[in-house]
Chain A
Amino acid sequence: MNFLNRIVALDRRWVFLFLFVVVSMAYLLRNYFSVDITVTKEVKSIYDFIEKRNEGDKLLISFDYDPSSLAELHPMSRAIMLHCFRRGIRVVAVTLSQYGAGMVEEILREVAAEAKEAYGVDPQYGRDYCFVGYRPYPAMVILGMGENFRVFFPRDYYDTPLDSIPLMQGVRNYDDVNAVIGITSGTTADFWIVYGNARYDMPLALGVTGVMATDYYPYLGNAIFGLIGGWKGAAEYEKLIDRSADANAGMPAQVVAHLTIVLFIMIGNIGYLLSRKSTNAVS
């Protein structure tokens, strides 16, 4: 058996192990690599939208993901919220993922503290941001919020009546926020487009996992004004707000992983073609 045949017949667990080692090494040695991030138009448009808002304007950010997608979506959530807090934009947070509530509460507190440390601002719950919590059946909730947030969320996550929260006074539905940003790991993105944007025509941007990203590019320009796809998109946003964090730290590992997989695909294909050629020659 020649070398290429052995490669083609290689137990896939060796490939897993190889990938495990090189990606781990690339991550652990991340301070020795730098990856130049090119900012795309679809990410910049979200940044520009927030940048052009006035202090006190409001955004509804929907964190529609659970801990299984935390690794991919938390970096963009952090970057967007930091940007909002830096600009003095008020954030109304909601989650339409059943496992998201505890996670969202945690990240809101963490980012508020980070914004205080990084920018000297002091985002206060109730004045600068609030979290209305979770309700099941995303499509119904999105439709209901289009009429009045209080239909599904009469009280916030901490059981405070919405009308008692300064930030929510005068905020009735999507007409009273400047845009909705859905950070989403599943079909909720479709619901935001169909039941949110198509029904109520509010400005909508999405942050999605890498797997979903290509499915939502066709909506750019007609249903959504911006799109952040996976870690690359999050790394772009981190670059825009000039605060390198988790997504940028992971980019060297991403580059190494992609190169390794491309290399394995090439070796596998060359081995396959040569073995087929030799089989044809024998027959």
Chain B
Amino acid sequence: MHETIQDSATVTLLWTTLGALLTVATFSFLYRDNPIYKVAEHLVVGVGAGYFLVLLVYTTLKPKLFDALAEGHLWYIIPGVLGVLMWLRFSRKLSWISRYSIAFYIGTSGVSIPLYMYNNVNRQVSSTLDLGMGFGSLTEVWGILIVLGTLAGLVYFFFSKAHKGAFGGFAKFGILVLMIGFGASFGYTVMARISLFVQRIAELEDWGAMLIAYFFS
């Protein structure tokens, strides 16, 4: 029993050590590109591609094609053939046939056009003009600011009229609004990257604690 626990701890330590070494290998890119970093990079890509291939077979091809065909649903042969035709992209002579599959795939995405229009245009315009959707205590004031900011941002990208006088001033307000937006995005991006970094540090900390516990306790 004791040996089993010891073995389990050893295996965990080995995997964690591998993870820690790969973390350090990835960080080494910050100094310069190097073979150790390349090994880590290629490992991620290779493992990811292999995992996805197996997953695709077991979650899609098997249940949605092979099992269905085996159960006698012969019309499943049509999407199967369309899928196979995609591979003709690799043939110079026959690559044109793959366009039928692509056309079918792109054609079905037509369902998205009215949904995108409704969601990204209609709803956004109505929400922008809804002055009650601001925040804090001065709801209407913020609402008006959002409307003006949106218009000014659009004016900044309107190049058919020279950016002079009041129009130019409004365009400058537009770039100010855009800069505030970019600043917020930058701040969030820093937070995102630091989150990833801190999580790696946490893993290294755990690895250190695991090493100490394994060898000194």
A interface list, Cβ under 8 A from B: 13, 16, 20, 23-24, 27-28, 41, 68, 70-72, 98-99, 101, 133-136, 139, 143, 154, 193-195, 197-199, 209-211, 213-214, 218, 221-223, 229-232, 246, 249-250, 253-254, 257-258, 261
> Which of A41, A194, A210 has the most B CB atoms < 10 Å from its CB?
A210
Q: With A13-B31, A232-B191 in contact, do A194 and B201 touch (Cβ < 8 Å)?
A: no
Which of B3-11, B112-120, B156-164 is near enough to bind chain A?
B112-120
Question: How far does the Cβ of B142 sit from chain A's closest Cβ, in whole Å?
Answer: 13
Please tell me if B75 contacts chain A, counting CB pairs below 8 Å: no
Does more than half of chain B's interface fall in helix, strand or loop, or is it mixed?
Answer: helix
- Closest Cβ of chain A to B144, distance in Å, is 16
Docked CA distance A98–B60 (Å): 12
Enumerate chain B interface residues (CB-CB to A < 8 A): 27, 30-31, 48, 51-52, 55-56, 59-60, 63, 109, 111-112, 115-116, 118-120, 123-124, 126-127, 133, 135, 181, 184-185, 187-192, 194-202, 205
In the complex, A138→B12 CA distance in Å? 34
| A241, B43: Cα distance in complex, Å | 39
Contact yes or no, B127 A229, CB < 8 A: no
| Closest beta carbon of chain A to B150's beta carbon, Å | 10
The CB with the most chain A CB atoms within 10 A, among B63, B135, B198, is that of: B198
Whether A214 pairs with B205 at a CB distance below 8 angstroms is no
CB-CB under 8 A for A135 and B192, given A23-B201, A253-B198: no
Interface of A, secondary structure class, is helix
Q: Which residues of B contact A195 (CB under 8 A)?
A: 112, 115
Q: How far is B28's CA from A13's CA once the two chains are assembled, in angstroms?
A: 11
* Alpha-carbon distance A186/B199, docked complex (angstroms): 20
Contact for B119 among A23, A134, A214, A223, CB less than 8 A: A223
Q: With a CB–CB cut-off of 8 A, which chain B residues contact A232?
A: 191
By a CB distance below 8 angstroms, the chain A residues around B181 are 214
Of the residues B27, B109, B124, B189, contact of A211 by C-beta under 8 Å: B189
Asked whether A194 lies within 8 Å of B116 as measured between CB atoms, the reply is: yes
